Structure 1
């Protein structure tokens, strides 16, 4: 049994605790308590061994030869599972070939284990491994801050002479500045009217950059005024001095954080939160384990579980009455708007004491599931976001969700004006980092930073002073460590620790270079300057056209065909993403036109085949294509001459 425990530790406990130990934000996002984390760790260390212990008990009844054979089989299977993980890291093999090699390696290792007792002795000594892995997680990993937090103190700022206005601060997530820009480097007011409205009444620091592409590093830097120095958890016990503690002595704090916990419990509580408790930790850890042990490449990242709960899911009442805008689908927004946004909006009320209203909203951060109207759509989890065809789809979905984010900004501005806070408050709207949609460099890791810093580093940064009515653009070299010094300057608070940023009212930096961190303590430097937006792809001339009867010309399988049989737009759910496969004989790059109720909504290419076949996927961002009840979905193959042939769907 000790040998099995050692192998289970290597196959399950070590890789899973390694991933989770490097992801304290996973526990912070799900608001895990210390008890939840310790119970999860105990389950990871103990539960996988239980089935094998039961098998061993059965073997005791079956007799010594059967017990020896069963033990050898279990050892072989575990060694094969370990070989899958090792093979995925050191060989180019994937899928069935990797499984075949791993099974052969497991069989050979099991035979060697049965023949040479030295191997068994080594495994028995290695049985202490799970205890070592648990100890490293609890005491040495970045996640240890969640298990063993140190105090919730922090230095309070000192109130200076002058007014202390209310502060309204929204930090959006994964929003590149260039996504908002038109060709003239101004906000594209046609697509994002509410961001344009915000810019028209505030100071827009157009040359603003974040400091890291990862929120657990970026947000603490923003709220402390210091660049990332250590890879530690974004927790108040690790960063006791921050915006919340600095203003907390004078200001009431209403903070809605997501994957950080920088505001200590003594300063604020957060009523609306994502799904939490041991159940969701176990479920999401199970998904991670499947990714860790799979013989194919997959993104092993707890961040995949970060999704804003909707107002309907959280059971919250709507924050505002229906606006007088017939184009605005308030019923959809009312059901689908993120719950923490609803709570934040409801709290925007004048108060006797100065108040900090803070919201970190995971929008337009992936997963991308919203249309600009606020309607929600389903999407398969295995759609790639990079590569030919896929990166264009990812960018289109991002921009659609950004359109919905613009709606939320509009609701915030309307609420501030309705309650009288708009003129009185210091309003800050920004994002922690961007994301690249450059082919082969999608994302915000080191490769994306090196090849597309204009999309990863530059973010929107709007600051409206109390009483400000006229917008202006300031292209000074703003870096997000300037945020806290600037807020302190505007609120007349003296920060009692050394900051590396500077208030925007001071003389601009002498250098135009930018500092950015993929790893804390290791700055990357690149030239500054307002980035130019990427040229938008020209819309396909078929989009928006009506299609009559066309001759048949092949087949296609659609993954969500059944969703078109009964569409109810009033529920805020639309089958706006269409995905499926076509026969292997269809060449790469073949254009497919996707039509709903006779109108073409998208034209997309067939992408090179992968493990799921020769796939396609199309986003239909215009919800006017859909009608209540049964909807007709058609796919057409577009010939080289532009002729359409209808595909038979299944």
Structure 2
């Protein structure tokens, strides 16, 4: 029987079957083992049912309906559309299996599988019979997802938790849990709280009890948060979810009848039902966007997904700006730069959301006749690292340079910058802690309140080790969780060496209230007369031996000694270039950085500063370079080049926000030579002048910079854009460019849109085929790869030009494929 004679219902069964293997099963498997994703999206029974309905019913139904509709026009067309559908779905199955292969090999496997399966389905009855046999999978997969994975606990009715009385004393309770706030980040070289960096944490320690050796109840938020609100030892092997159904007896069910509950938990649902109505309802568009990102990760080759897809490492939801930002961006200012202004406003709305949550929570704290339990879990200072101490943000591209698949590179300079970005974000947390204390004082609550500021766990900055994944080599940074407790009416600060943990918070609250916890807890009051030794730390469900606890201040002093060799380089920070001798640049040495363009116009009122300076120093044929980064003539950061992103001379540094002023700012990159006596600096210039643009004149087009004419167009500057690699937010142009008159390397290849430069690079790739075809007298670096942001592309598209060092330029030609993408 040919495919055209196969009954329509049977063909539909085939689509449902293959869709189950290609789309439903991979998603169900990933979400089923990571049900925190649905918890973060506030998913309940109806949301789970809707997800299953879309994935297992609507998607295959639409695919089948297309072929059915085509059959009304032509039986032959319907048969080939059915064949194509089967081929595409099989290709998706193959793509998921092959995604760990190199990109080209994975794509080839998927294409071959798609073509082979399509042809087999079209011509072989056995292939169609096979799909009929396996078609029950379309029903089995969703049933298993709902019944046999942790998702089942989102569908069931929550158990009733244990309640109790609050005791004779009912002080206001404020419990703030920051995420990934490690104690080591708070300490100076002497092991004390760094009061210069963190004045508000230092002030809190003067009126509260600080526990420097506190350890995390779990290295995972999934289990640390429940441990904090239950006092019960978590077990990751249990696969319990951070929801009230799995932890029915917790701080909220206990005090819910005696306290007004003011609870904000963005990722968990431990306070649920009538006690806490979620202020953040399920947003279908955000859930759909995040599910789409999950699926793209399941079928995209790993090396391509790491570069082009939104990271899944930062949180359990909000993988894209559309999913992360629930509200519209502020309206852009009108004027010639309206598009850029709108982009900046949209970016700002995304960047400030985590700080808004904290500030909204703080603003809602108010004195009332009845005592209240104020609880906040903040996703700060958890990455993505995006905040400066004042709360201003900086663009970060959705990635943390130096992190790949949640593990740090071996390149220490990139790890140092990652830790610096973390420290600056912790400084912003310090600002928020100060705002919290000020609010409590203004409402007359601070003296009487039981205030606990803590963290679920810390983070690691060990070369080659996971940032959060728990190992013997990196556990010290992860277990060192911050802990500050101010008892009611406490006025004098104290420091306790006890190794307390999140398990001890509920018992401590109980003692402060003069009450008993109405269920068995594994923790102890932090102020009890007898306290367990806890000389080792071990977490149930993790296959690691007991690990020795440590004195966190000794660890801080050891880390400071390890950083001592960099003191000479770091001493340059804050120095004015006007008072230093800076030599001319080394011949042929340039720096490629988009920051030169972003520094040209910095509106301080936007709240978004280009403080993260990243780029590449060319040529890449020398040893690593020490660099100094100056903003408006003052050195703001030092770093060293490293291997990253395909470059051997990549650098990343965060400069202080105090160096910026409104409008145009100057960025300088300088090479630092420490080989002899003293330190010597030399300029490392950009190959392009500022504000480069194309202008038309009587003699034709020419390139104009901020200081006047730069180049005129000449026919001997030639080249092509061979192809364009498309990503959701970027375009990468690949091709070659050469000067056929001098055969010297070009100074730059520049992309323009709307007449303005939007990206550039220096040709650095060897293209012997080009050299031979053009008959160049000597080997020349003609190959290039140039990345531009989609948002920078204006109506009219993109033009690409080559620029030499003699004031001459030429426009590069576009292949048909490149033209289809770049010319609008």
Report the TM-score range of the alignment, normalised by the length of the smaller protein. 0.7 to 0.9
Residues in 2 aligned to 1:19 and 1:255: alpha-carbon distance in whole angstroms: 29
Q: Secondary structure at the match of 1:422?
A: coil
In the other structure, the counterpart of 1:303 is 315
In the other structure, the counterpart of 2:258 is 250
Q: Secondary structure at the match of 1:421?
A: coil
Higher relative contact order (CA 8 A, sep 6+): 1
**Is 1:154–1:242's contact at 8 Å kept on the other side of the alignment?**
yes
Report which stretch shifted further, 575-584 or 78-87.
575-584
Residues in 2 aligned to 1:469 and 1:157: alpha-carbon distance in whole angstroms: 30
In the other structure, the counterpart of 2:240 is 232
Residues in 2 aligned to 1:179 and 1:224: alpha-carbon distance in whole angstroms: 27
Q: CA deviation at 1:433?
A: 0.7
Equivalent pairs, count: 622
Alignment of 1:400-415 (within 5 A): 400-415=424-439
In the other structure, the counterpart of 1:173 is 179
Residues in 1 aligned to 2:590 and 2:132: alpha-carbon distance in whole angstroms: 57
1:297-330 Cα shifts (integer Å, max 9, x gaps): 4455582635998999799xxxxxxxxxxxxxxx
1:431-487 Cα shifts (integer Å, max 9, x gaps): 0111111111132213xx321111111211111111111111111232321211111
**Is 1:336–1:374's contact at 8 Å kept on the other side of the alignment?**
no
Q: CA deviation at 1:426?
A: 0.9
**Is 2:472–2:547's contact at 8 Å kept on the other side of the alignment?**
no
Residues in 2 aligned to 1:149 and 1:368: alpha-carbon distance in whole angstroms: 38
Alignment of 1:26-105 (within 5 A): 26-49=37-60, 52-53=63-64, 56-57=67-68, 60=71, 70-89=81-100, 93-105=101-113
Report which stretch shifted further, 282-291 or 537-546.
537-546
Match of 1:491 among 509, 513, 527: 513
Q: CA deviation at 1:239?
A: 1.0
Matched, 1:380 2:397: yes
Q: CA deviation at 1:409?
A: 0.6
Q: CA deviation at 1:199?
A: 1.2
In the other structure, the counterpart of 2:136 is 128
Q: Secondary structure at the match of 1:574?
A: coil
In the other structure, the counterpart of 2:223 is 217
Q: CA deviation at 1:68?
A: 5.2
TM-score scaled to structure 2, two decimals?
A: 0.69
Match of 2:367 among 332, 335, 350: 350
Q: Secondary structure at the match of 1:608?
A: strand
Q: CA deviation at 1:33?
A: 4.8
Residues in 1 aligned to 2:211 and 2:490: alpha-carbon distance in whole angstroms: 15
> Residues 44 and 441 from structure 1, CA distance in 2 versus in 1: closer, same or farther, beyond 3 angstroms?
same
Report which stretch shifted further, 553-562 or 570-579.
553-562
Q: CA deviation at 1:46?
A: 3.6
Q: CA deviation at 1:556?
A: 4.2
> Residues 147 and 587 from structure 1, CA distance in 2 versus in 1: closer, same or farther, beyond 3 angstroms?
farther
Q: CA deviation at 1:401?
A: 0.5
Q: CA deviation at 1:16?
A: 1.8
In the other structure, the counterpart of 2:198 is 192
Structure number with greater Rg is 2
In the other structure, the counterpart of 1:290 is 296
Report which stretch shifted further, 178-187 or 506-515.
506-515
Q: CA deviation at 1:223?
A: 0.9
In the other structure, the counterpart of 1:241 is 249
RMSD: 3.2
Q: Structure 1: which 5+ residue stretches go unaligned?
A: 316-330
Q: Structure 2: which 5+ residue stretches go unaligned?
A: 1-10, 331-347, 689-759, 761-824
In the other structure, the counterpart of 2:608 is 573
**Is 1:211–1:515's contact at 8 Å kept on the other side of the alignment?**
no
When you count strand as a share of all residues, which structure comes out higher?
2
In the other structure, the counterpart of 1:320 is none
**Is 2:613–2:655's contact at 8 Å kept on the other side of the alignment?**
no
Q: Secondary structure at the match of 1:264?
A: coil
In the other structure, the counterpart of 2:22 is 11
In the other structure, the counterpart of 1:158 is 165
Residues in 1 aligned to 2:93 and 2:624: alpha-carbon distance in whole angstroms: 38
> Residues 524 and 149 from structure 1, CA distance in 2 versus in 1: closer, same or farther, beyond 3 angstroms?
farther
**Is 1:288–1:302's contact at 8 Å kept on the other side of the alignment?**
no
In the other structure, the counterpart of 2:34 is 23
